[in-house]
Structure 1
Amino acid sequence: MEVDCIPFKETGYFSKLICDYLDQRKDLEQFYNRFPSPENFVEQIKEKSDAYTFSNRAILVQALREQYKGMAISEVTEANVTSLEEKNTFTVVTGHQLNLFTGPLYFLYKIVSTINLTKELKRTYPAHQFVPVYWMATEDHDFEEINYFNLHGKKVQWSRSSSGAVGMLDTKGLDAVFETLSAELGKTGNAETLKVLFKKAYLEHSNLAKATRYLVNELFGEHGLVIVDGDDPSLKKLLVPYAEKDIFEQIPYNKVTESIGELEKVSSDYTIQVNPREINYFYLKEGLRERIVEQHGKFHVVNTEIEFSKKELSEELHKHPERFSPNVIARPLYQEVILPNLAYIGGGGELAYWLELKSYFDEMDITFPMLMLRNSALVITKKQADKINRLDLKVSHLFLKQNTFINKKIREISNIDIDFSPQKKYLEEQFEQMYQLAEETDKSFLGAVKAQEIKQKKGLDALEKRLLKAQKRKLRDHVVRMTDIQNELFPNKSLQERQLNFSELYLELGENLIPNLLDSLDPFSGTFSILKY
């Protein structure tokens, strides 16, 4: 693939908070541990090595062996699991929901970024081992977010009722999804490969967690990816002391609330991604995942008749830690407790809420990971690239909002000048003289002069818009071809990676898709990638 790039800031799709973080704005330093540059991993390795215990390594490896039992895995994944017993082995993690058939394309970019970062770290620090990890969000309960994917502009959806954690959902009804997918894919060799992959993952496994593990292992197993399911009794035992501080002392609620206040002081333009609750845990059983709330000295499970005294809840936590499911605030801490982790790789929204958590980690005495923005990419075919060139466009133009994109290009190609800025400037100069005249004669006329200036400026704006509209009609064919290519590459006026499913690219590139992404995406690039093939 041919690789080009543009700065994240220039895409218009990334928040001010994330752009400021990438620019390493000084005011934000208190909200993270170390910026993810290659040289900063020296201190991160030392800090995590000192904090992470051998006993946790043993529990982690045993849990992983249990989770992989009965599944064929690659030699490199097996070696990576075994290496986690060694003090010089560390992880790099990304996490994601159990989206049907991976969901949006950026799911692949997250894992590719993770794998590539471990490779870069191994080259820089050869005395250590680095293991890429995908954390399956099996305890998530938002079924409507994960029960579909888009293919050729159509929504392929799994329709069924659901309750509780999605990882426990049986795969009933996915045979109908398979039929829809098969019809849409066609009968090429790559299409048949995709059909087999879907069938083996979803029709030959009993629940969504097992199906997702199989699917992701098939796609990335040969690259050594290790898949972790946090919904594991042995791993959750390690979480108990931290859950107690959350449930009974409300430490994360207090610390994260403070951090949000501090972030808002840095900039009022920052959007707060998540707000903490007084208790950041759900009560989890088959078919049930509901919040725990404290009311009148009792702990209630929302939407149920289940309640505990403080003593009873503490006993339940120690006896059945698997029944306590961390929410979006508590889950990052859980991850860092059980893994010898150095860095978390996520999208802009994820990093935004991680930036709220540093003081909470400090209070819990858990090493805060380095935060790395995942790779983002726009994939363009040669045919599409040729079309862009024929229209005399730059790829960066395509990131503009459609009206801005059209207006910018119309002004460039029009044979008349549709920019009335000089006329507006001349008007302002004329009115400046009238303001001076009113000041010298009768100040009561200032309001009337101002009103007349506004009226005439509005008149010029209206004329400019009418002229631009007329030019759009005149150049309609060019506008249609421009918007067609933008709509192709930005479906639903959104980033391609948030809309397309990987299967659409796999139909074209087949088994070369993931190797091409691994070769083309640099985790340290700090830019939005344009990939042409």
Structure 2
Amino acid sequence: MPSECIPYSETNYFSRLILDYLDRKEELKNFYNRYPEIDNFGDQIKEKKNSFPIENRQALVEVLEEQYQNLEISAATAANIKSLGDENTFTVTTGHQLNLFSGPLYFVYKIISTINLTRLLKEKYPENHFVPVYWMATEDHDFEEINFFNLKGKKFKWNSTQEKAGKTAVGYLSTEGLQEVFKLFSAEIGVGKDADFLKNLFEKAYLQHDNLTDATRFLANELFKEHGLVILDAQEKKLKKLFIPYAENELFKQISHEKTSKTAEALAGLGYNVQVNPREINLFYLTEEFRERIIERENIFYVHEREDIQWSREELFAELEEFPERFSPNVVMRPLYQEIVLPNLCYIGGGGELAYWFELKSYFEAEKVPFPILLLRNSALVQSGKQRKKRENLNISNKELFLKQHELINRKVRKISDIDIDFSPQKEHLKQQFQQMYELAEKTDKSFLGAVKAQEVKQIKGLEHLEKRLLKAQKRKLKDEVTRIAKLQNELFPNGSLQERQANFSEFYAEFGEKFIHTLIENLNPLDENFKILTFGQE
């Protein structure tokens, strides 16, 4: 399958922080532990092995075996779960919200990056075993972020009437009400073997499972079980017990706020945007009805907006000991929780995720937990053979595809026009003429300089106006080419955004079949620091 690539810096879609990280800028080195190069994983393995208790492994295996009891499990996944009890087994992890029908396409890229890195690590360090893990964000409560997906430019939204939607963890939500979404999806996806697979997958995941956690686990397992993916819901009492000492530090010493605030200030001082601002206490109190922040006032602890629930320090400690599953980490503490319950080497995420991880290194050091290697997930643009042919016929390079649409169209119109629309020579000639007038004013009347400058600006603007009018006229004359350029770019960059942030995997699975996933696995190298352009199908 044809594949091409361009540097992330040439896509215009990635932040300066991420581009500087990929460039290994010196000023960022204090914010991460080891850069994701294959040779750096050797020391990461040693560090994690020496710090990860066997009882944590035992608890993890027990929880996974319980969670997989009612799921058809592949031999590869079963072997991976069992191997997690061994001190020479380590994980590579990605996390993602419980988006309806997986949400945006980059969900697939995240998991494939994770699977492929474990394979590369096995080749390099054959004496160890490496397990790809998908950490389900079951404790997140932002329902509006996960209740939809896009397909062929249409938005499919789950309008749940559950009272607790948006109030408690999404993992607790019932799948009730998804029958209507299924009907609309079935009508849109069409007919054929691959469309039937997708309809069957949606139906089994969401209409035959009672809650969003079980539905998402089934979906991810069906897509990736043959590749040994292990899916974890960490909202389990056995795992939260391991977290008690760290939750206690958070409640009574507020370590994360102290450490991450300083790190965020340091990043801001370097000119980077701060992704997350920590709270004084970065824990929620979680029940099946609500998930709300824990706050402290004068040594009394409350649940935000539910101040009838309160504890003294002693009472809160007792609550934590007895019901650790009710204490839910927010975005600042979740990474620490992950690294406590998993023998993890590397976290794979998007640019926004890595940005908040960069704020956490000093917090990890204070808690004496190894900081994982941070790896930017693969990004890709998927095009059909026909789309590639259209691009070539329009003489558009891969790099030009990533331009803003008006910039792309202007560039192409200038290039294919039979007249010269570039007035740069005329502007330069005008500036030379005015330079002579400046010299004359200097010799005669310096007060005349302002008038000369005003006239120069006026005439330059006049040329620019004429240039724009001529360009506009040529766009009308070349309307067919302009329309074709805009249509192609709109297909590949829906809503003016990266395809992977808008489209759902089902759109491509319906067109290309099961080879879509397999081809992505063959072509996405997580250690290749370039944006991929992948072509599927015949021209």
Q: TM-score normalised to the size of structure 2?
A: 0.97
Aligned-residue offset at 1:211: 0.6
Structure 1 residue 243, shift from structure 2 partner: 1.3
| Distance in 2 separating the partners of 1:165 and 1:111 | 23
Which of 249, 253, 262 in structure 1 is aligned with 2:266? 262
User: After superposition, what is the alpha-carbon deviation per residue over 1:165-222, rounded to whole angstroms, capped at 9, x for unaligned?
Assistant: 0000011101111111111122211111111111111111110001100111111011
Quote the offset at 1:446 in angstroms: 2.6
2:345 aligned with 1:326: no
1:284-303 → structure 2 map (5 Å cutoff)? 284-303=286-305
Deviation per residue, 1:391-436 (Å, 9 max, x gap) = 1211221111001111111111112221222222223333333333
1:209 equivalent to 2:210? Answer no
* 1:283 maps to which of 272, 282, 285: 285
Equivalent residue number for residue 503 of structure 1: 506
Note closer, same or farther for the CA distance 1:314–1:391 as it changes in structure 2 (3 Å cut): same
**1:56, CA displacement in angstroms?**
1.1
Matched, 1:312 2:296: no
Who is 2:233 aligned against? Answer: 229
Deviation at 1:452, TM superposition (A): 2.1
Aligned match of 1:64: 64
CA distance in 2, matches of 1:56, 1:416: 72
Map Cα deviations across residues 490-509 of structure 1 (whole Å, 9 max, x no partner): 11111111111111111112
Residue 508 of structure 2 is aligned to residue 528 of structure 1: no
Instruction: Confirm or deny that 1:444 pairs with 2:454.
Output: no
CA 1:433–1:246 in 2, change beyond 3 Å: closer, same or farther?
A: farther
SS in 1 for 2:514: helix
Equivalent position of 2:152 in the other structure? 152
Q: 1:251 aligns with which of 251, 255, 260?
A: 255
In the alignment, structure 1 residue 48 sits paired with structure 2 residue 48: yes
After superposition, residues 90-105 of structure 1 pair within 5 angstroms as 90-105=90-105
Question: What CA distance in whole angstroms lies between the structure 1 residues aligned with 2:141 and 2:61?
Answer: 27
What is the rounded CA distance, in whole Å, between the counterparts of 2:117 and 2:207 in structure 1? Answer: 33
Offset at residue 15 of structure 1 (A): 0.5
Match of 1:271 in 2: 273
Give 3-state SS (helix, strand or coil) of 1:150's partner: strand
Bigger shift: residues 247-256 or 18-27: 247-256
Deviation at 1:49, TM superposition (A): 1.1
For structure 2, the 5+ residue unaligned runs are: none
Which residue matches 2:488? 485
- Give the stretch that moved more between structures: 186-195 or 370-379: 186-195
How much does 1:130 deviate?
Answer: 0.4
Q: Report the Cα offset of residue 308 of structure 1.
A: 1.7
- Tell me if structure 1 keeps the 8 A contact 2:267–2:273: no
**Equivalent residue letter for 1:211:** A
**Match of residue 461, structure 1, among 461, 464, 485:** 464
Structure 1 stretch displaced more, 288-297 or 500-509: 288-297
Q: How far, CA to CA, are the matches of 1:301 and 1:361 in structure 2?
A: 26
Q: What is the match of residue 367 of structure 2?
A: 364
The 3-state SS of whatever aligns with 2:531 is: strand
- Over the matched positions of the two proteins, sequence identity in percent amounts to 60
**1:318 positional shift:** 1.4
* Residue 272 of structure 1, CA deviation: 1.5
CA deviation string 1:231-262 (max 9, x = no partner):
11110111111112222212111111111111
Cα distance in 2 for partners of 1:240, 1:131 equals 26
Q: 1:467-478 to 2 correspondence within 5 Å?
A: 467-478=470-481
Q: Distance in 2 between matches of 1:354 and 1:191?
A: 38
Q: Which moved more, 1:370-379 or 1:442-451?
A: 442-451
Q: 1:279: Cα distance to partner?
A: 0.8
In the alignment, what sits opposite 2:384? 381
Shift of 1:448: 2.2
Distance 1:435 1:312, change over 3 A: farther
- Structure 1 residue 517 displacement after superposition: 0.8
Q: Deviations over 1:105-158 (max 9, x none)?
A: 110000000000000110111111000000000001111111111111111111
Amino acid of the structure 1 residue aligned with 2:182: F
Would you say the 8 A contact 2:49–2:343 is kept in 1? Answer: yes
Distance 2:297 2:337 in 1: 26
1:329-380 per-residue CA deviation (whole Å, 9 max, x = no partner) reads 1100100111110100001111111111111111111111111010111111
Matched, 1:404 2:410: no
Offset at residue 443 of structure 1 (A): 2.8
C-alpha separation between the residues in 2 aligned to 1:186 and 1:93? Answer: 34
Match of 1:393, SS?
Answer: coil
Give the deviation of 1:10 after TM superposition. 0.3
- The equivalent of 1:191 in structure 2 is 195
Counterpart selection for 1:344 from 339, 344, 347: 347
Instruction: Quote the RMSD (CA, aligned, Å).
Output: 1.2
Indicate the larger mover: 139-148 or 418-427: 418-427
Cα gap change, 1:430 to 1:250, in 2 (>3 Å):
farther
What's 2:11 paired with?
A: 11
Which residue identity lines up with residue 519 of structure 1 in the other structure? E
Shift of 1:303: 1.9
- Answer yes or no: is the 8 Å Cα contact 2:410–2:471 preserved in 1: yes
CA distance in 2, matches of 1:299, 1:450: 67
5 Å-filtered alignment, 1:63-212, equals 63-161=63-161, 162=165, 163-212=167-216
Name the CA distance, whole Å, in 1 between partners of 2:469 and 2:150: 38
Q: Offset of 1:53 from its aligned partner?
A: 1.3
Cα deviation, residue 478, structure 1: 0.4
SS at match of 1:375: coil
Matched, 1:219 2:213: no
The answer to whether the 8 Å contact 2:244/2:321 transfers is yes
SS, match of residue 371 in structure 2:
coil
Give CA deviations for 1:468-515 in whole Å, capped at 9, x if unaligned: 111111111100001110011111111111111111111112222211
Provide the C-alpha distance between the structure 2 equivalents of 1:151 and 1:35, rounded to a whole number of angstroms: 36
**Residue type of the partner of 2:304?**
V
Q: 3-state SS of the aligned residue for 1:306? A: strand
Change in 2 beyond 3 A, CA 1:416/1:236 = same
| Counterpart residue number, 1:28 | 28
TM-superposed deviation, 1:2:
1.6
- 2:150·2:504 contact (CA, 8 Å) conserved in 1? yes
SS in structure 2 of the partner of residue 24 of structure 1: coil
